[in-house]
Structure 1
Amino acid sequence: MAENLHPVANPAVDADGNVYATVSGARGQSVAVSVFQIQRDFQMRPFVRDVMNVTGLAFGPDGYLYASSRAEGTVYRISPDGAASTYAEGMGIATGIAFDRDGNLYVGDRSGTIFKISRANVDGTSGEIFVYATLEPSIAAYHLAFNDAGTLFVTGPTTSSNQVIHAIDRDGNATVFYQGLGRAQGIAFDVDDNLYVAASLHGQRGIIRIDRHHQATLVVSGSNLVGLAFLEDGNAALATRDALYHVALDIEGRLLI
């Protein structure tokens, strides 16, 4: 789909099927284009400039793209024409982001905190910000996704080859959903509540499916995979460290917007 990128988490998909991916860069590195839009015909155009180290991407209920900056600890709200404004600050090393069904935004701070930002005000500014849960620090980034029941699932790569996926309930209590992955990164759900994660399983890197019975299987094999996003007609956009790939998986993803 696109090359010369630097995704470090899932791409995002808007209501029209356009895909958004980052050129995240090394910490503190300024890049010419922070986020690219890849249109349905695979044409790629610059979308966001001048935001440093964009990491997590997610569309909000208002149709705006939200992006975290791990260099600044800031979440930006990005209009349909690519204009970025500050939405929330003080998020530590802000990485993964996800919206719940009520429009609240959750942000993973790499040092171990999951923040909850209450639904935006009418003027587009953020609501109350507070600590939702605390986990062990990650060496790379947190990755967040909700299932249909409203449980928040979180991965955060560590040096362990026996990593866990955390499940956090509505009260902020964390439990272990699955253990046994290597460098687990981007995650997403299908409509049947199966969880998909970019990780290594028994030494094989790829996209791993974990069903509701906690059984894990390798769905797609591929090195350097960091994230995924489900598209229409059973397809998916898979992100590596420098490119996006379009793959027919015959899987219907859970709607995020």
Structure 2
Amino acid sequence: MDKGAGNLVIHRISPRAGIEGGKVYVECTGFDTQNFSQSFLYFGDHPTRITVATPSYVIAPIPRQAQSGPVRMVVDGETSNPVYFEVGTRLATNLHPVCNPALDASGNIYVTLSGTRGQKVPVSIYRITPAGVVEPFVSDIINPSGLAFDRQGDLYVTSRYNGTVYRVSPSGKVTTFCTNLGVATGVAFDQEEHLYVGDRNGTIYRITREGICYPFATIEPSVAAFHLAFDQQGYLYVTSPTMCGYDPIYRLSPDGDVEIFFTDLGRPQGMAFDIEGNLYVVAYYQGQSGIIKISPTQEVEHVLSGLNLVGLALDGIGNMIVVDTASVYRLPLGIIGRPLP
């Protein structure tokens, strides 16, 4: 990176955050496409080769070693102006999340090592402290899937293997809460602390505090998992990824009436709301993979780029916690999550 910024100018990077492997779109001027073979995007000191180039924008992947900081274009020795980019910090790997991570009131992160169907792994749920220390938490749940905390600090865990919801105390003691829920995956609490569980065969169940279960609504089955999240008005949002590539987000009223909230998403998965009512969802949208923000008026913004993402959580101090099929990342994006119901 020999020369300072001259004719080569970066105007915008979209999105402004990502994890390794995700792609960024860089709007620029002063780029001569004839120099494509000598063109790189630098994340700090780590270069990545530009894969698509036009005079007005380029596309490049986020390199594995990338860290948060300035991004610059370098073309045949000329260096652009720097633009800040947030890269997720990996907190843990060698995991297997299939739904959102969960956060307790102390800021600890809980994530699964779900395993293949019927596989009993040595540790099925890990706890990651705010300092980034990874601790075994639960060892005797097969295929743990969805995670959600109640107001008392107990963690509720679904098993896609046996259709059971387990209740886990803060000390890690496991008890059975409800059974016979099909392929139980996503889970969420409403304001009255009824627990909702998605059976990916097509049924959403509502479970009372006493563990009594009722069918609540029916939607299209999923090839993967149902993912659930409540808004501030008590509506339940559900994603149900299929193989068609144009999947909706369903919105269910407190009475169980089903409508489509948003559509044309590719494999939408985990969701979370911020305190302003914006919905964040893992999905492919308009050819880009990662996390998009959907406002209450359905304005859409691509906020994070990444591959093989599964879920997310938003804490109360501005961090977004993101999980892919093997790892957990943290990004300080200044987005405040909606508190527990």
Q: Deviations over 1:135-192 (max 9, x none)?
A: 0100000000000000000001101211100000011000000001101000000011
Please say if 1:220 is aligned against 2:304.
yes
* 1:248 to partner: Cα distance: 1.4
Q: Provide the rounded CA distance (Å) in 1 between the counterparts of 2:160 and 2:171.
A: 23
Tell me the C-alpha RMSD between the 2 structures.
Answer: 0.8
Q: Deviations over 1:100-127 (max 9, x none)?
A: 011100000010000000123xxxxx2x
Please say if 1:18 is aligned against 2:108.
yes
* 1:195 to partner: Cα distance: 0.4
**Which of 215, 219, 238 is matched with 1:154 structurally?**
238
Partner of 2:17: none
Please say if 1:187 is aligned against 2:271.
yes
Most deviating of 228-237 and 73-82: 228-237
- Give unmatched runs, 5+ long, in structure 2: 1-90
Partner of 2:163: 73
After TM superposition, list the pairs within 5 Å mapping 1:62-141 onto structure 2: 62-120=152-210, 126=211, 128-141=212-225
**Is the CA contact 1:102–1:119 (under 8 Å) kept in the aligned structure 2?**
no
Q: Provide the rounded CA distance (Å) in 2 between the counterparts of 1:236 and 1:28.
A: 31
**Is the CA contact 2:167–2:177 (under 8 Å) kept in the aligned structure 1?**
yes
Letter in 2 for 1:13: L
**Off by >6 Å, runs of 4+ in structure 1:** none
**Which of 325, 328, 331 is matched with 1:241 structurally?**
325
**Is the CA contact 1:166–1:177 (under 8 Å) kept in the aligned structure 2?**
yes
- Give unmatched runs, 5+ long, in structure 1: 121-125
- SS in structure 2 at match of 1:183: coil
After TM superposition, list the pairs within 5 Å mapping 1:43-62 onto structure 2: 43-62=133-152
**Which of 295, 304, 309 is matched with 1:211 structurally?**
295
- SS in structure 2 at match of 1:232: coil
**Is the CA contact 1:168–1:174 (under 8 Å) kept in the aligned structure 2?**
yes
**Which of 232, 255, 258 is matched with 1:171 structurally?**
255
Larger Rg: 2
- SS in structure 1 at match of 2:92: coil
Letter in 1 for 2:230: F
Q: Provide the rounded CA distance (Å) in 1 between the counterparts of 2:125 and 2:175.
A: 14
- SS in structure 1 at match of 2:182: coil
**Which of 82, 92, 95 is matched with 1:5 structurally?**
95
Partner of 2:336: 252
Letter in 1 for 2:161: A
Partner of 1:123: none
Q: Provide the rounded CA distance (Å) in 2 between the counterparts of 1:91 and 1:62.
A: 24
Q: Provide the rounded CA distance (Å) in 1 between the counterparts of 2:162 and 2:240.
A: 19
Q: How many pairs are equivalent?
A: 251
Q: Provide the rounded CA distance (Å) in 2 between the counterparts of 1:92 and 1:62.
A: 27
**Is the CA contact 1:48–1:82 (under 8 Å) kept in the aligned structure 2?**
yes
Q: Provide the rounded CA distance (Å) in 2 between the counterparts of 1:182 and 1:161.
A: 4
* 1:215 to partner: Cα distance: 2.0
Letter in 2 for 1:234: G
Q: Provide the rounded CA distance (Å) in 2 between the counterparts of 1:153 and 1:213.
A: 15
Q: Provide the rounded CA distance (Å) in 1 between the counterparts of 2:153 and 2:330.
A: 23
**Is the CA contact 2:316–2:339 (under 8 Å) kept in the aligned structure 1?**
no
**Which of 220, 226, 229 is matched with 1:145 structurally?**
229
